[in-house]
A and B are shown apart, each in its own frame.
Chain A
C-alpha cells in the first residue's frame, strides 16, 4: 500500500485537489490535441469538397477490410484500457498489469497492420512524391488525398507509439505497487489519452476508407 503523504505534491492542499487538477489538466491537453488534428481535418474537408471524384477514387485504393479490422482492434484496446482503469479503481494489481499488457498488444497489432498498409501503398506507387503514379486525369488531387492519408494516419500512429510508451511506464509503476484504490491518477490520465487516440481513428476511418465505396 502506498503512503498517501508521499504521493501528494506540496503545492496541493489535499489529494483530492491534486486529483482534480490532474484530471482537468489532461482534458485541457486533449483539447489542444483536438485542435492539432483538427487542422488536418480542416484541410481534408476543403479538398474533399474540391475534388470529390478524386477522393472517392483514391479512397478505393485503401484496403477497407484492414481498415475495419484496425478500427475493431483499437476499440478492443479501449475496452481493455477501460478495464485497466477499473482494476486500478478497485485497488487490484495483477489485473491492471494484464489489461495494460493487452492494451499494448492490441496497439502493436494496430501499428503492425498500419505499417503493412504503408508498405502496400509504397509498392503500388501511391506514396506522394517523385514515385507517385496514378490514373492521369485524377493524379494530382489523388496525390493530395494520399498526402492527407499519410500525414493524418502517420500523426495518429505517432500518438499511438507515444501511448504505448506511456502504457509501458504504467506497467513498470504498477509492478512496483505504486497504485492503489486511493491513488491511481496516472492510470486514469493515460486512459483518457488512449481513448482520445481511439476517437481520432474513429473519425479517420470513415473519412479515409469509406469514400465512394458504393461506386
Chain B
C-alpha cells in the first residue's frame, strides 16, 4: 500500500528537522523544548514542596531555597508558560486555521526557536553554575548590586529568549493580516486566532520593556552604571515599573492562548457555535489592551504613591470584565449543547472553573485594603497558580489532546486521558487550595521556614503536588505510546468545523492540497463541513 506523503515523512533525518522551515515541524521542536523545561521547573517545585513539609529549614539552607524558588519561577514563566501554547499550538495551527501554507516568515520562525534554545542554555548554565537567588522578579537593588549569584548570566538568557517571543508575535500579526484564505474575513476567524492575535500584540509591545529593564540591571552589575542604585539617588521602583509593565501583560500572554483553546474545545464538544462570538473576540483585544494599564497593582506596598495605586486598583477591576465575559459566553455555549466529556473537554471545563476561582481572587488582590494583608503571602501564590496551572496548563493539555490526532495522525487512549485529567484536577486543587488559606492566615511566600501551626496545610499541599506530578507524567507516557500504538486517526475524528480539520491527519507539508475558500463563520456546527468550505485551485508552491 502506498504511503501518503505528509509533513512528518516527507523527509527524514536530524538535519531535516534542525533546518526545517515548516511551521508544523517547528511546533514540534518547541513542544519537545517546552516539555523539557516544564519538567525542570517541576523539579525545582518538587524540592520546594519537600522542604515545606516541615516548619524547620531542614532540607536546604535559606540561600539555596531562594535559588529554588527563583529557578522555578524563571523556568516556568519564561521557558514554559509564555512560549507553550503560542509556540506549539499557535505555530502549528495559525496558518492552518486561516488557510495558509505557512507563516509569513518561516525562516524567522526557525530562528525564533534557535534563539529560544540559546536563551535557555544561558539560563541552564546559570542554574548549573549555582543559580540565582533574586526571585524571578529580579528586584533592585538586590539584583543590580548586592546579590552574589549569577544574575547577569540569567538576565542575558531571558533577554535572548525575549527575542524569540517577539519574532513569534511579529510572525503571527503579519500572517493574520496578510495571508488569510479567500473568504476568511476577520469575523469568520476562529477565536483561537483572535486570542493569538491579541497575545501577539502583547509580545510586541511588552517584551521589549523587560528586555531593557534587565539590560539595565546587567549594565549596572557589569559596568556600574548607577541607574537603580539608591546610593546615587536611584529609585528602585523605576525597575519595578519597567519590570511589571511587561510582566503583568505577560500573564495575559500566558492565559489568552489558553482561552483561545477553550473556545475551540467548548464549541466542538457542545456541537454549537460559541455564544456571543463578537464579544469573545473583542474581549481578547480588550484584555490585551487593558492588561497594559494595571501593572502597578504589583507595587501597592512597595512605596508607590497612593494616587497611582488607586488608579491601578480601579483599572484592575475593569480588566476582570472581559475575562468574565468569556466565562459567561462559554457557559452560554454549553447551555442546550450536545455535550460530550472527552479528555479535551474535561480540561476545558476544568479551566473554566479553576480560572474563575483564580480570577476572582485577583479581585481581592486588586483591592488595596485586602492586598496590604495578603501581599507577599501564599494567597498570591495560590491566586496565580490557579490561573497559570489550573488555567493555562490545563488549556495547553486540552489543546495538545484535541489536536494530537491532527499533529500525529494517531489517537491517544481516551480512558487514560480522562484518568490523567481527573488526577491532575484533584492533585491541583489539593496542592493549591490550602495555599489560599495559608496565605490568608499569614504565611509569607519565599521563606523556607514557617510557624508550626501551618504544617498541616503545607503537608496537604505537598501531598497534592505529588498527585499532580503523577498526573503530568501520565500524558507524557501515553502520548508517546500512542505515536506507535495509537489507533490511526482520520482527517476529522472530532467532526469539528475548523479549517485545520478539512485536510489530512497528519497534514501535507503545504497544509492543503488545494486552496480553501471560506463562506461561513467558524463554528457552523448546524451545517456539514462540505457546506461551509470549498476548495479552489491547487495550492501552488
The answer to whether any beta carbons of A and B sit under 8 Å apart in the complex is yes
Asked if residues B212 and A40 are in contact (CB atoms below 8 Å), the reply is: yes
B126 within 8 A of A: no
Are A24 and B178 interface neighbours, CB within 8 A?
Answer: yes
A130 touches B179 (CB 8 A): no
A28 contacts chain B at the CB level, 8 A cutoff: yes
Chain A residues near B209 (CB-CB < 8 A): 35-36, 38-39
Q: Is the CB of A11 within 8 A of B102?
A: yes
Q: Which of B233-288 contact A (CB under 8 A)?
A: 233-235, 238, 241-242, 245
Q: Chain A interface (Cβ within 8 Å of chain B)?
A: 9-12, 17, 20-21, 24-25, 28-29, 31-33, 35-40, 42-43, 46-47, 50-51, 128-130, 140-141, 143-144, 147-148, 150-151, 155
Instruction: Report the bound CA distance from A12 to B103 in whole Å.
Output: 9
Residue of B nearest to A142 (CB): B232
Chain B residues within an 8 Å CB radius of A51: 233
- Measured in the bound complex, the distance between the Cα atoms of B223 and A141 in whole Å is 17
Whether the Cβ atoms of A43 and B232 lie closer than 8 Å is: no
Residues of A contacting B234 with CB < 8 Å? 47, 144
Question: Are B170 and A144 in contact, CB atoms less than 8 angstroms apart?
Answer: no
Are B206 and A35 in touch, CB under 8 angstroms? Answer: yes
Closest 4 CB pairs of A and B: A39-B212, A36-B208, A147-B225, A11-B102
User: Are the CB atoms of B233 and A144 closer together than 8 Å?
Assistant: yes
Q: What residues on B are CB-neighbors of A28 within 8 Å?
A: 170, 173-174, 204
- Of B103, B179, B241, chain A has the most CB atoms within 10 Å of the CB of B179
Give the distance in Å from the alpha carbon of A36 to the alpha carbon of B179 in the complex. Answer: 28
Which of A12, A28, A38, A128 gathers most chain B CB within 10 Å? A28
Query: Most chain-A Cβ atoms within 10 A of its Cβ — which of B206, B215, B226?
Result: B226
Q: Tell me which residues across on chain B come within 8 A of A50, comparing CB atoms.
A: 233, 235
Which residues of A lie under 8 Å from residue B232 when comparing CB positions?
140-141, 143-144
Would A130 and B224 be within 8 Å (CB), given that A11-B106, A31-B204, A39-B213 are in contact? yes
Given A43-B238, A43-B242, A47-B233, 8 more pairs with CB closer than 8 A: A10-B102, A11-B104, A28-B204, A35-B209, A38-B209, A39-B245, A40-B212, A140-B233
* With known contacts A10-B101, A24-B178, A28-B173, A36–B226 Cβ distance under 8 A: no
> Given A25-B105, A140-B231, A140-B232, are A39 and B242 neighbors across the interface (CB < 8 Å)?
yes
Q: Which residues of B contact A11 (CB under 8 A)?
A: 95, 100-104, 106, 179
Task: Judge if B541 is at the interface, Cβ distance under 8 Å.
Answer: yes
Instruction: Provide a sorted-by-A list of 22 A–B residue pairs whose CB atoms are within 8 angstroms.
Output: A10-B102, A11-B101, A11-B102, A21-B105, A28-B174, A29-B166, A31-B204, A32-B207, A37-B212, A38-B209, A39-B209, A39-B242, A43-B216, A43-B242, A47-B235, A50-B235, A128-B226, A140-B232, A140-B233, A141-B232, A144-B233, A151-B216
The answer, yes or no, to whether B483 is at the interface (CB within 8 Å) is: no
A46 touching B238 by the CB < 8 A rule?
yes
**Are the C-beta atoms of A144 and B208 separated by less than 8 Å?**
no
How far, in whole Å, are A21 and B103 apart by their CA atoms in the complex?
A: 10
Contact status A29-B170, CB under 8 Å = yes
| Nearest CB on A from B101, distance (A) | 5
| B133-190 at interface with A (beta carbon < 8 Å) | 166, 170, 173-175, 177-179
Set of chain A residues within 8 Å of B223, measured between Cβ atoms: 128-129, 150
* Chain B residues closer than 8 Å to A140, beta-carbon distance: 231-233
A143 touches B101 (CB 8 A): no
Does more than half of chain B's interface fall in helix, strand or loop, or is it mixed? helix
Residue of A nearest to B107 (CB): A9
B205: CB under 8 A from chain A? Answer: yes
Known: A17-B179, A35-B209. A42 touches B241 (CB 8 A): yes
Closest residue of chain B to A38, judged by CB?
Answer: B209
Is B211 close to A, CB under 8 A? yes
| Residue from B177, B206, B211, B242 within 8 A of A24 (CB atoms) | B177
A79 to B190, CA, bound (A): 45
The complex places the Cα of A20 from the Cα of B179 at a distance, in Å, of 10
Contact between B174 and A128, CB atoms less than 8 A apart: no
**How many angstroms between the C-alpha atoms of A141 and B106 in the bound complex?**
47
CB distance B227 to A148 under 8 Å? Answer: yes
Determine if A32 and B226 form an interchain contact, defined as CB atoms under 8 angstroms apart: no
Bound complex: CA of A177 vs CA of B440, how far in Å?
70
Distance of A3 from chain B, by nearest CB (Å): 16
CA distance A38 to B226 in the complex (A): 18
Restricting to B217-232, which residues have a CB under 8 Å from any CB of A?
Answer: 219, 223-227, 231-232
Closest Cβ of chain B to A126, distance in Å, is: 13
Q: Within the complex, what minimum Cβ distance (angstroms) separates B409 from chain A?
A: 23
CA gap between A32 and B206 in the complex, in Å: 8
Residues of A within 8 A of B225 (CB): 128-129, 147, 150-151
Q: Taking each of B100, B103, B227, B238, which has the highest tally of chain A beta carbons within 10 Å of its own beta carbon? A: B227
- State the CA gap A35–B212 with chains docked (Å): 9
- Rounded to whole angstroms, the CA-CA distance of A34 and B366 in the bound complex is 30
Closest Cβ neighbor of B101 among chain A residues:
A11
B208 A20 Cβ-Cβ under 8 A: no
Residues from chain B with Cβ under 8 Å of A17 in the complex: 178-179
Chain B CB within 10 Å — which of A24, A32, A43 has the most?
Answer: A32
**Chain A CB within 10 A, most for which of B212, B224, B231:** B212
User: Which residues of B from 71 to 124 have beta carbons under 8 Å from A?
Assistant: 95, 100-106
State A42–B242 Cα separation when bound (angstroms).
8
Interfacial chain B residues near A24, Cβ < 8 Å: 173-174, 177-178
| Chain B residues within an 8 Å CB radius of A143 | 226, 232
